[in-house]
Amino acid sequence: MTSPSSVGIVARRITAAGPFGTAFESVDLEAEPGDLVAVTGPAGSGRSSLLLAVAGRLRLVAGELIVGGYRLPMRSPAVRALVAVARARPAIDLDQRLRVEELIVERCVTAPRSTTGAKVTAALRLLGIDPPRDVLLFELHPAEQTLLACALAVATGPGAVVVDDVDQGLEPGDVPWVWRALHAVAGSGCTVVGSASAPPPQPVPADVVVRLPHRSALERAAAASAGESVVARQDEKGGAP
C-alpha cells in the first residue's frame, strides 16, 4: 500500500495557544515525505496540540508551517484533506464501545475518500495486526487499539497520518511493536507523525525526533517577558538517540 502523495513538513518557530494558555512554543520541525517523526515530551507539553496543528486542525498564533507544500493557516482545508488523524486525545479517538467490525464499517461509510473493507484489510496487514472483528475495542490489547486506529486512517489513502499517545498504556516490551508498525507505514510512503512520552527505543529508527519541554503557565509567562525562545530541539535525522 503506497500513498498517492506523500507529505513533507516544514515548521519554523511555530506557536499555538489553547484554552489554558500556550500549548507549545517556538517549535521547529523538518520532515521529508515518507519520514517517521516522533514528537516526545511529558504530559502537558503540547504533543496533541502539535499533531493537530500539523494536521491543519489547530490554528497557530506565530511561526510558519508548510505541510505538503501548503502554507497554514491559509490552506488548512487542503492540509486536512492530505493528513489523516488516527488519534489526538481527547478531541479525536475511536469509540471504545464499538466492535472492530462496526468501526471498520463506520470508517468506510464516513471517510472523505473512497474507503473499502479491502483497503482496511490491507492497512491492517501493513501494520501487522488481525484483530477479531466481533470484539469490542476496549477488549483489544492497547497496542492493537493504537494500530487499529492507524489502520483505519491509513485505509483512507492520506499522504500523512498523525497518531497521539503511541506508548500510552503499554508495557515497555510492547512499545517497539507499535513503533515498528508505524515505521512500516512510513516505509510504504505515508509520512507518520507519532507522539509519545519518549523517543522510539532502539533499534526502531525514527527519521526525526522533536522534544517538547514542559513548562507551567508561570514559567511560560516569565520566559515571554524575558524574551526567551523556548525551542523544541530537533535531533539529526537518521535515528533516535
Residues 6+ apart with CB under 8 A from 3: 34, 157, 158, 159, 160, 188, 189, 190, 191
pLDDT band, very low/low/confident/very high, at 239 (cuts 50, 70, 90): very low
Closest CA to 212 of 39, 29, 17, 2: 39
- C-alpha cell, 91: 478531541
Of all helices (H) and strands (E), which one includes residue 72?
strand 70-72
Give me Rg for the CA atoms of the chain: 17
How many C-beta neighbours within 10 Å does residue 67 have? 28
Please give the Cα distance from 162 to 212 (Å, whole number): 16
| Residue-level pLDDT at 217 | 52
Q: Identify the CATH class of 9-225.
A: alpha beta
Place of cell 463506520: 106
Identify which has the larger pLDDT, 170 or 234: 170
Condensed to tens digits (0 to 9), the pLDDT of residues 56-73 reads 999 999 999 999 999 999
pLDDT digits (tens, 9 = 90+) for 30-47: 999 999 999 999 988 999
Domain ranges in the chain are 9-225
0.95 surpassed by pTM: no
Give me the pLDDT at residue 223, please.
46
- 113-169 residue pLDDT tens: 789 999 999 999 999 999 999 999 999 999 999 999 999 999 999 999 999 999 999
Q: Report the mean per-residue pLDDT for the chain.
A: 87
Quickly state the pLDDT bin for 215 (edges 50, 70, 90): low
pLDDT digits (tens, 9 = 90+) for 157-202: 999 999 999 999 999 999 999 999 999 999 999 999 999 999 999 8
